[in-house]
A and B are shown apart, each in its own frame.
Chain A
Amino acid sequence: LCWPRSGGIRGGGAMDLFGDLRRMNKRQLYYQVLNFAMIVSSALMIWKGLIVVTGSESPIVVVLSGSMEPAFHRGDLLFLTNFYDDPIRAGEIVVFKVEGRDIPIVHRVIKVHEKGNGNVKFLTKGDNNEVDDRGLYKEGQNWLEKKDVVGRARGFLPYVGMVTIIMNDYPKFKYALLAVMGAYVLLKRES
């Protein structure tokens, strides 16, 4: 009995040859899958690491509306931090969530009232909006508090977030992209 080695093609019959090839492909397939899993895990770890370092549950966000134009346009990417000790001050750009709504809003702080004990309430308004955000808050809510803040905008990149908007609006594009990425990773061979 002879054991076939990977990559080796022994002389002696077509069936042996096919056996070799099938085994070779299966092993390489598993290897590629593992490689893919490692890439995904690393990406997730980097994301979690960013959450820890910035203190924000969502350190990178995409601007969805034009309410902060001409500074930010739909599709721009914002980098946030949310350090607990950072005070909220007028003029800062904050990303906040209204209770009961999933989608966070990026606007500027225009009023701050802070008590001696650190309790703070503030009002926001989009640069491109005529009125402040009271209409966007929950029924009866007049102010935002620190707990509503997802983060403060510290840096920004234009256009880069458009990809996620396209993927959201055109799910077929998202699946096509995933299929292409999956095929690439699984079929690519290391030379």
Chain B
Amino acid sequence: LRKNVEDFTGPRERSDLGFVTFDITADILNGKNGLQTFWNKNALIIFDWNVKQLFLYLSAEYSTKNNALNQVVLWDKIMLRGDNPRLSLKDMKSKYFFFDDGNGLKGNRNITLTLSWNVVPNAGILPLVTGSGHVSVPFPDTYETTKSY
């Protein structure tokens, strides 16, 4: 997971708004040959016979003075069974506004971006899985007034 912080503009309703652009390189392994890879103990089978789709989302987690824990989903994608399981997205902008509840983004050095996914089966349990590998993003101490998003 690689990312690139741009800038963040002034508050709307007195809340901090952050802008992040990021690259995602992920490899969610696929059991391509069905039976063959089933017996391969090294391959992690995510898309098995009972998986209808994966709901992937990139979330930013951080702490502020106001709130001990904040989580904001910046981007999501639905990956259906049969879609290419290797993601290589560059220069993505966040799909959703990254508003904080308050002014906690300014000068916040430790925003962790993680890729997670919800496995939706054909029938059965709905697990939430967090991908390995996460990135820390620091936000600058000043507000940016020009919009270069």
Chain A residue contacts of B128, Cβ below 8 A: 89, 91-92
B66 and A115 contacting across the interface, CB-CB below 8 Å: yes
- Known A-B contacts A70-B78, A127-B55, A127-B78; the reply to A91 vs B118 at CB < 8 A is yes
B71 and A90 contacting across the interface, CB-CB below 8 Å: yes
What CA separation (Å) do A115 and B70 show in the bound complex? 9
Q: Does A135 contact B (CB under 8 A)?
A: no
Best-buried of B53, B57, B78, B123 by chain A (most CB within 10 Å): B123
Q: Does B96 contact A (CB under 8 A)?
A: yes
- Known A-B contacts A115-B67, A158-B122; the reply to A91 vs B78 at CB < 8 A is no
Chain B residue contacts of A155, Cβ below 8 A: 124-126
What CA separation (Å) do A45 and B78 show in the bound complex? 39
CB 8 Å contact bits of B59-94 with A (1 = contact, 0 = none): 101000011111111001010100000000000000
What CA separation (Å) do A92 and B128 show in the bound complex? 7
Chain A residue contacts of B66, Cβ below 8 A: 113, 115
**Distance (Å) between the CB of B138 and the closest chain A CB?**
20
B73 and A156 contacting across the interface, CB-CB below 8 Å: no
A71 and B73 contacting across the interface, CB-CB below 8 Å: no
CB 8 Å contact bits of A151-176 with B (1 = contact, 0 = none): 00111111000000000000000000
Residue of A nearest to B120 (CB): A71
Chain B residue contacts of A149, Cβ below 8 A: none
Partner of B126, one of A110, A111, A113, A156: A156
Partner of A153, one of B76, B78, B126: B126
A71 and B71 contacting across the interface, CB-CB below 8 Å: no
What CA separation (Å) do A121 and B61 show in the bound complex? 15
Partner of B57, one of A70, A90, A116, A154: A90
Residue of A nearest to B123 (CB): A157
Partner of B118, one of A70, A93, A113: A93
Task: Show the binding face of B for A, using Cβ within 8 Å.
Answer: 52-53, 55, 57, 59, 61, 66-73, 76, 78, 80, 96, 101, 116, 118, 120-126, 128
Task: Show the binding face of A for B, using Cβ within 8 Å.
Answer: 70-72, 89-93, 108, 110-116, 121, 127, 132, 153-158
4 smallest beta-carbon distances between A and B, as pairs: A90-B71, A116-B68, A110-B73, A112-B71
